[in-house]
């Protein structure tokens, strides 16, 4: 079964601190994505990657960096966390192509205080 | 740019009754459309997907959706709701570039509450 694992599942961070969210997939997928979900809203794309060592900006990349050191791993980095980045973050992977399913992780709940 | 609108933020339905969730999209080109469900504290799970072809698509757990190009809509239906359908439902659209199927634009979601 396709799997996307996120860690940690929840985190409290201090304003101005550095936060790293990790994502690991065992699907052998080329494409990975980071989304953000705010309470009462849909998901918005932050960064994505279609190959190791390369990342692309999504719709809301400001304040975030991404890193794809291997096909299996994709990290989201908040260099200077801010209150407005409190949200639930979802990682996803897909095999590419319009006719492939996207698999989501269970999410990381980040609270910045 | 593409967009997705789900006009109903919350829907309450009796167990056993029918359910329809509305979705309107705006997209220049051939849309690939999806419905996802999110159970509490869980990730998103795919209910069904539409690729150009038959406008009515069947999904899991008795869900189906109908694509209408003239109305720019992709409404979700279920004939008889079960209490386990209590969840948030998201409509999403993907580009038809042939790749990046996970580069999705989501609607804001519809919270479905099931009452007995």
Copy the structure tokens of residue B13.
């339905």
Is the preceding omega at residue A8 within 30 degrees of 0, hence cis? yes
pLDDT of residue A40: 75
What Cα–Cα distance (Å) separates residue A65 from each residue in A49, B51, B86, B91, B104? 12, 32, 35, 27, 19
A57 in B contact zone (CB under 8 Å): no
Q: Chain A contacts of B42, Cβ < 8 Å?
A: 106-107
Contacts of A92 in chain B (CB under 8 A): 102
pLDDT recorded at residue A102? 86
Residues 6+ apart with CB under 8 A from A65: A47, A76, A77, A78, A79
Q: Is A93 on the interface with B (CB under 8 A)?
A: yes
Q: Which of B35, B36, B94, B100 to mutate to test the interface with A (most CBs of A within 10 A)?
A: B100
Per-residue pLDDT of chain A (113 residues; tens, 9 = 90+): 669 999 999 999 999 999 999 999 998 999 999 999 998 788 999 999 999 999 999 999 999 999 999 999 999 999 999 999 999 999 999 887 666 788 999 999 999 99
Cα(B84)–Cα(B73) distance, rounded to whole angstroms? 26
Question: Whole-angstrom Cα distance, residue B92 to residue B94?
Answer: 7
CA-nearest residue to A50 within chain B is B100
Which residues of chain B register pLDDT less than 50?
none
Chain A nearest-CA residue for B93: A98
Q: What is the pLDDT at residue A1?
A: 64
Nearest-angstrom CA–CA distance, B78 and A32: 31
CB contact at 8 A, B58 and B74? no
């Amino acid at each position: 079964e396709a799997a996307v694992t996120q860690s940690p599942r929840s985190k409290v961070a201090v304003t101005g601190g550095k936060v790293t969210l990790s994502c690991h997939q065992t699907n052998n997928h080329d494409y990975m994505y980071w989304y953000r979900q705010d309470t009462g809203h849909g998901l918005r794309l932050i960064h994505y990657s279609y190959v190791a060592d390369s990342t692309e900006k999504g719709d809301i990349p400001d304040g975030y960096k991404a890193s794809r050191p291997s096909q299996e791993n994709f990290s989201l980095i908040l260099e200077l966390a801010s209150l407005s980045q409190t949200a639930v973050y979802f990682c996803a992977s897909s095999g590419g192509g319009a006719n492939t399913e996207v698999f989501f992780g269970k999410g990381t709940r980040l609270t910045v205080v | 740019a593409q967009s997705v609108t789900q006009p109903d933020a919350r829907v309450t339905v009796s167990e056993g009754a029918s359910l329809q969730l509305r979705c309107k999209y705006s997209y220049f080109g051939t849309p690939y459309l999806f419905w996802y469900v999110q159970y509490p504290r869980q990730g998103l799970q795919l209910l069904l997907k539409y690729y150009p072809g038959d406008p009515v698509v069947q999904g899991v757990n008795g869900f189906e959706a109908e694509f209408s190009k003239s109305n720019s809509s992709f409404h979700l239906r279920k004939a008889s709701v079960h209490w386990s359908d209590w969840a948030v439902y998201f409509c999403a659209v993907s580009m038809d570039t042939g790749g990046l199927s996970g580069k999705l634009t989501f609607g804001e979601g519809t919270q479905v509450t099931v009452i007995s």
